[in-house]
Chain A
């Protein structure tokens, strides 16, 4: 195994059309778990399919360690990449039993029947489906099919495992269970995993690294913590986690983490040039001698209230509150911290 490198990767489907992926470079470290996050249609699936070998890049290259998997002129076909993929539709072969589905990659590689059986059983037990070996995929539930697809990936010890929105077709309860299975799978197999999703919570919960895409470009790649605390640009800021973006006077210097004193000063300054500052709801606290604000909506979430506040100049903030608040209440808020985008 080795790290996977995408090098200035571009893909245009139709000659002269707009590019689905533009100049995308990133490196996934060996054994890493990368989530590709972005809104629908931003090119995530296209990137994944280029890594798998189903699409050829129109520019740039893909490397696994030293080995060039694909560039604009040549590519290794998927059959020879030693990768595995969980498709959104699971792609289980309906005419084979669960055990045959899982064992097929081994059969193709010419593994003997006895050895195959042992490996299939091992893979099925990893996803807790030993009892279903002889069933047909049609007789399984959505979550079980998903796990069969995962077992099929596990069985050949692939260099890279690709997952294309694997949870999109499952209900909320099953999702949580499957997230757990994916984490286990990653820990157990040690494979490099690339996980495509448009759900930021899923990406943050699962991955060791998150790459945010928009309109075919890579916006930022970082650990989930970093991405949450220090997003680059307005798009990433609004895509990851909750928060509000304030437009304030731009501060001198290159300090990006701003405290209450700085924020208060900038809010009141009204300079000529402005900057955007991301404020997370947990940093907005209702207390005396802050900025005056009006509650414009209050939503009970069980453990707390989620408030939307309108500041005196009309800008919007989000905040949490333990005590009930009514629409129209006048409050005063202190912003403990903000991040200049």
Chain B
């Protein structure tokens, strides 16, 4: 009879070393490499050159300014939507919430393209409507203000979710008690709701700020033509003009982004200390105030906002993608699907991009699932004191801006791998590794929530039935977490398929992704092709979000990011 020294744990012995290795490879190793290069180049005095470079200070200043105003715009937009949709008797809340969440899921470079299509002298939509400004007038979005505005639109849903989670956790009976004691709606709002919901708002603002600091797609498309550089786009241009000092410089620049992000995340952690809104309290029923006569007004405002931030840009994008030859105005008879034909059937670059993005995303989504099911099992079931530390380490690569991770991986893989002597730099593999590292936390979260919901006795019963770990995994555990695993695959696929930041630095000829293809098409002036590709991407995003939406009732709370 076999007897083992296993303290009654249900996990096989190899699980802990496996989880530890995975987390070290995906999280600790790249970041440690980045830190080493940054520190060593600082010690070699390169830091001095960089820090006296006015371009760097300018980029830092522009990053802070655009991120700050982007955060302000996100707080105004997201805050208003969260308050109105959570606390008041607005009709059509589900539809409004879903549409409001769309801009975060649409890739930033697509958002930027669609807004460009809506404004400026070359807008196909404005020309078709006869509203276009005269030729030669500037594109207003190629500016600090334009970047900040789009940052705001893109990240408003982050503030929305954070504040909403806070509002849903408000004690309903406390509010009712205040109203019974004679307080007016306004007084209740001022004295109870606002103070209690401030942490959620502040946390949302902090996450929005971090997200702005790391954003690459928007400043790349809006800023570079106007010679406005933020830290991520500066890193990108440094790689474009590669020289011997580049590695040292970009590692210091990424460290700056990293530090700004850590400050933001620390603020978030601090205001939310002791209350994890994202896990608890989501089911709470918030107090609903009646708006009476004001309801029409509020609903009109909400829908108008949706029209401006979503419907109009997407319409402009579609219009641009249907644009006929240059100079011919767009109407029903001149509209052409030529751009779609071109990207789907003629251009080998876009077809390669489709193949690359889809296969990379599928490989990432399913490959990560295998890893995260085992990791999630360990984190939830082991009871190990190391589990929270490992969980936090797994979060870091996703919490940090993608550009930082991309730089870290370039540093890690620039030289050929030791022992086998193969270089990954410039191959698809480096993008795949970056995706694994970057989206590990995205894949892990639904799986961990599902594990937390499973009664441990279900697995214990299987142990007594005689099933060993692999058997339990296939017969009991995987079927029980299947819906969450499905959600995890879709989310990772969606995000990986749309990302630009990581692949913008890591691609080379033949390994371009969809994000890179859109950016390059726009960069080379093929605006209609870029728009057509973007329309396809938006359709894909909406389709996948709808799939998740229909699955939402069978998933643990908090798995579908825009649902709460």
A residues neighboring B (CB under 8 Å): 49, 52-56, 67-68, 73-85, 87-89, 91-95, 104-105, 108-109, 152, 156
Contact = CB atoms under 8 A, between A and B. Distances in A.
Nearest to A104: B465
A109 B8 CA distance: 21
B389 interface: no
Interface in B66-81: none
B3 A75 contact: yes
Contacts of B461: 85, 87, 91-93, 152
Pairs of residues from A and B, 9 with the lowest C-beta to C-beta distance, nearest first:
A105-B465, A91-B457, A91-B461, A78-B463, A87-B457, A108-B466, A95-B479, A74-B3, A55-B8
A56 B383 CA distance: 14
Given A55-B8, A108-B467, A76 B460 contact: no
Nearest to A49: B8
B471 interface: yes
A93 B458 contact: yes
B468 interface: yes
B419 interface: no
Contacts of B463: 53-54, 77-79
Counting chain A CB atoms within 10 Å of each CB, the highest count among B4, B458, B464 belongs to: B464
Interface of B: 1-8, 455, 457-458, 460-468, 471, 475-476, 479-480
9 contacts: A56-B7, A77-B2, A79-B464, A80-B2, A87-B461, A91-B458, A104-B465, A152-B461, A156-B466
Given A56-B6, A91-B457, A104-B462, 10 more contacts: A80-B466, A82-B466, A85-B461, A91-B461, A93-B458, A93-B476, A95-B479, A95-B480, A105-B465, A108-B466
B8 A53 contact: yes
Contacts of A56: 6-8
A314 B67 CA distance: 80
A64 B457 CA distance: 23
Given A54-B460, A87-B461, A94 B480 contact: yes
A277 B255 CA distance: 79
B464 A85 contact: yes
Nearest to A94: B480
Contacts of A68: 3
Given A89-B455, A91-B457, A79 B468 contact: yes
B8 A75 contact: yes
B373 to A, nearest CB: 16
**Considering residues A52, A67, A73, A79, which has the most beta carbons from chain B within 10 angstroms of its beta carbon?**
A79
Nearest to B5: A74
| Chain A contact residues: helix, strand, loop or mixed | loop
Nearest to A83: B464
Contacts of B8: 49, 53-56, 75
B479 to A, nearest CB: 5
Contacts, number: 86
A73 B464 CA distance: 21
A80 B36 CA distance: 49
A76 B2 contact: yes
Contacts of A84: 464-465
A71 to B, nearest CB: 9
A50 to B, nearest CB: 8
Nearest to A57: B8
A81 B7 CA distance: 15
A78 B457 CA distance: 13
Contacts of B3: 68, 74-76
A77 B5 CA distance: 9
A25 B482 CA distance: 44
A93 B475 CA distance: 10
B1 A77 contact: no
Contacts of A88: 457
A132 B26 CA distance: 49
B384 to A, nearest CB: 14
B460 A79 contact: no
A136 to B, nearest CB: 13
A52 B464 contact: yes
B214 to A, nearest CB: 40
Name which of A85, A89, A93, A94 has the most chain B CB atoms within 10 A of its CB.
Answer: A93
A49 B2 CA distance: 19
Contacts of B480: 93-95
A91 B460 contact: yes
A79 B1 contact: no
B465 A108 contact: yes
B103 to A, nearest CB: 37
A81 B5 CA distance: 15
Given A53-B8, A56-B7, A79 B467 contact: yes
B467 to A, nearest CB: 5
Contacts of B471: 108
B556 to A, nearest CB: 14
B460 A78 contact: yes
A93 B479 CA distance: 10
Contacts of A108: 465-467, 471
A109 B466 contact: yes
A95 B1 CA distance: 32
Contacts of A87: 457, 460-461
Contacts of B465: 84, 104-105, 108, 152, 156
A157 B3 CA distance: 22
Contacts of A95: 479-480
B492 to A, nearest CB: 24
A92 B480 CA distance: 12
Nearest to A109: B466
Contacts of B7: 56
A16 to B, nearest CB: 15
A89 B457 contact: yes
Contacts of B455: 89, 91
B374 to A, nearest CB: 19
Contacts of A74: 3-5
Nearest to A153: B464
A67 B2 CA distance: 11
A253 B476 CA distance: 63
Nearest to B461: A91
A92 B1 CA distance: 28
Task: Among A55, A68, A77, A105, find the residue whose CB has the most chain B CB atoms closer than 10 A.
Answer: A77
A33 B544 CA distance: 56
A74 B6 CA distance: 7
B5 A78 contact: no
Contacts of A156: 465-466
Contacts of B458: 91, 93
A86 to B, nearest CB: 9
A132 B89 CA distance: 46
A56 B471 CA distance: 23
A77 B3 CA distance: 7
A52 to B, nearest CB: 6
A77 B460 contact: no
Contacts of A78: 460, 463-464
Contacts of B466: 79-80, 82, 105, 108-109, 156
Contacts of A92: 461
Contacts of B467: 79, 104, 108
A169 B372 CA distance: 35
A89 B468 CA distance: 22
Nearest to B479: A95
A105 B466 CA distance: 6
Nearest to A67: B1
B51 to A, nearest CB: 50
